[in-house]
Amino acid sequence: MKKVLVTGGLGFIGSHTVVELQNEGFEVYIIDNLSNSKIEVLDKITSITGVKPSFFNIDLRDKAAVKDFFANNKVDGTIHFAAYKAVGESVQIPLEYYENNIGSLVYILQEMKANNLNNFIFSSSCTVYGQADELPITENAPVKPAESPYGNTKQIGEEIIKDATKISELKAIALRYFNPIGSHESAKIGELPIGVPQNLIPYVVQTAAGLRDELSVFGSDYNTPDGTAVRDYIHVVDIAKAHIVALKRLIEDNNKSQFEVFNLGTGQGNSVLEVIKSFEKVTGKKVNFKLVARREGDVTAAYADTNYANNELGWKTELSLDEALLSAWKWQETL
Ligand SMILES: NC(=O)c1ccc[n+]([C@@H]2O[C@H](COP(=O)([O-])OP(=O)(O)OC[C@H]3O[C@@H](n4cnc5c(N)ncnc54)[C@H](O)[C@@H]3O)[C@@H](O)[C@H]2O)c1
């Protein structure tokens, strides 16, 4: 049985990935410090898969603890989700973001090197492309200056990993997520709301649930068919499955170079108004919204060119926007 470390494995994307890894027969070790997740998620994962993953309550900024973990656990691969992820907050407390997102990454890579562990998957983001000059966005699109310290941690993170592959046997894949949404079909795990949602879907769902009065749609004068911003919303379970494919690629030595990058998106762009309409259709719930001015830092449109990931990884999305929206609503109903 192959052993995998999943950092941030009790978080939104991490927990869904742990479920898929266990379904595929991997033995999973989770490291999470519960800074943005709850310990109950461990039982939820266990009830979905019938298997309890090994859990380590370690803060990855604790170099000695990271050293100790890797010295005692010879994992076949590491999937690194753990990070702070709130764009707005990262502007307020940038140093904490650099310490957590960069410091932890460096410690993990150092200890993997020290223990000759070579397979590494990194959570990156489509924000590295900024407003891309061409749509859909391929992996060859240039990386644009980051709009926030959070976005910068993803760009710097990729650079650090790339440099590490040059001086060791490390093999790494950075997966650039577009907009992960939705929940597991069991509605036992999902995205935990933190404060006022910055992302569209949690805000839509909370407005429909009556927790928020009204959704503000930022910008209705974009150069898009209905004037609202366009994004590529991808079901979190499809994202999770891509991690298993990427991990197997490294374990089986099928990678083409020591550092590879793949987009994880559906290839389909949807406007904010289209998402609201779809949500109302699949749930039968009304979403109060108003059109307001653009929000600083938002790009007009971003959606993935999926050809490279589809052909090279042999992975493609299976779940629709409607399915993702319905699952997000079912999760909200359990909260
Ligand atoms: N959700 C998105 O829209 C999105 C988009 C692009 C990229 N990403 C990236 O994907 C990854 C996972 O995102 P998510 O949405 O699941 O976030 P999340 O906050 O739900 O999960 C992150 C987990 O990491 C843990 N963690 C944070 N710092 C830690 C530390 N120092 N030590 C141990 N555990 C720590 C948290 O407790 C949490 O459980 C992150 O790296 C994020 O930046 C997310």
- Partner residues linked to 180 by β-bridges: 234
Could you report the per-residue pLDDT of 94-133, keeping only the tens digit for each? 999 999 999 999 999 999 999 999 999 999 999 999 989 9
Could you report the per-residue pLDDT of 271-280, keeping only the tens digit for each? 999 999 999 9
pLDDT at 275: 98
Average pLDDT on 54-77 reads 98
Ligand 1 binding pocket, CB closer than 6 Å: 8, 10-14, 31-37, 59-61, 81-83, 85, 100, 104, 123, 125, 177, 180
CA of 9 to the centre of ligand 1 (A): 8
Considering 29, 97, 107, 150, which one is annotated as catalytic? 150
Residue of minimum CA distance from atom 23 in ligand 1: 8
For 3-183+234-266+305-317, CATH gives 3.40.50.720
Query: Considering Cα of 330, then 332, then 333, then 335, what sign does the dihedral take?
Result: positive
CA angle 15, 241, 279 (to 5 degrees): 75
pLDDT at 39: 97
CA of 12 to the centre of ligand 1 (A): 7
Average pLDDT on 22-47 reads 98
Reading the block at residue 127, the tokens are 């924000």
Reading the block at residue 212, the tokens are 């928020």
Could you report the per-residue pLDDT of 201-231, keeping only the tens digit for each? 999 999 999 999 999 999 999 999 999 999 9
Mutate to test the pocket of ligand 1, among 36, 45, 102 (most ligand atoms within 8 A of CB): 36
pLDDT at 195: 83
CA of 123 to the centre of ligand 1 (A): 8
pLDDT at 48: 98
Where are the chain's structural domains? 3-183+234-266+305-317
Report whether 311 contacts 262 (CB < 8 A). Answer: no
CA of 286 to the centre of ligand 1 (A): 30
Report whether 152 contacts 144 (CB < 8 A). Answer: no
88: confidence class by pLDDT, cuts 50, 70, 90:
confident
Mean pLDDT (the chain) is 97
Give the nearest ligand 1 atom to 127 CA. Answer: 6
194: confidence class by pLDDT, cuts 50, 70, 90:
confident
Q: Tally Cβ neighbours within 10 Å of residue 211.
A: 14
Report whether 167 contacts 255 (CB < 8 A). Answer: no
Give the nearest ligand 1 atom to 60 CA. Answer: 32
Question: Quick check: is 29 catalytic?
Answer: no
CA of 126 to the centre of ligand 1 (A): 15
Q: Virtual CA dihedral for 98, 102, 103, 109, nearest 10 degrees?
A: 180
pTM confidence score: 0.98
Mutate to test the pocket of ligand 1, among 20, 85, 203 (most ligand atoms within 8 A of CB): 85
Mutate to test the pocket of ligand 1, among 111, 123, 160, 176 (most ligand atoms within 8 A of CB): 123
Q: Which of 278, 280, 187 is nearest to 237 (CA)?
A: 187
- Partner residues linked to 177 by β-bridges: 125, 264
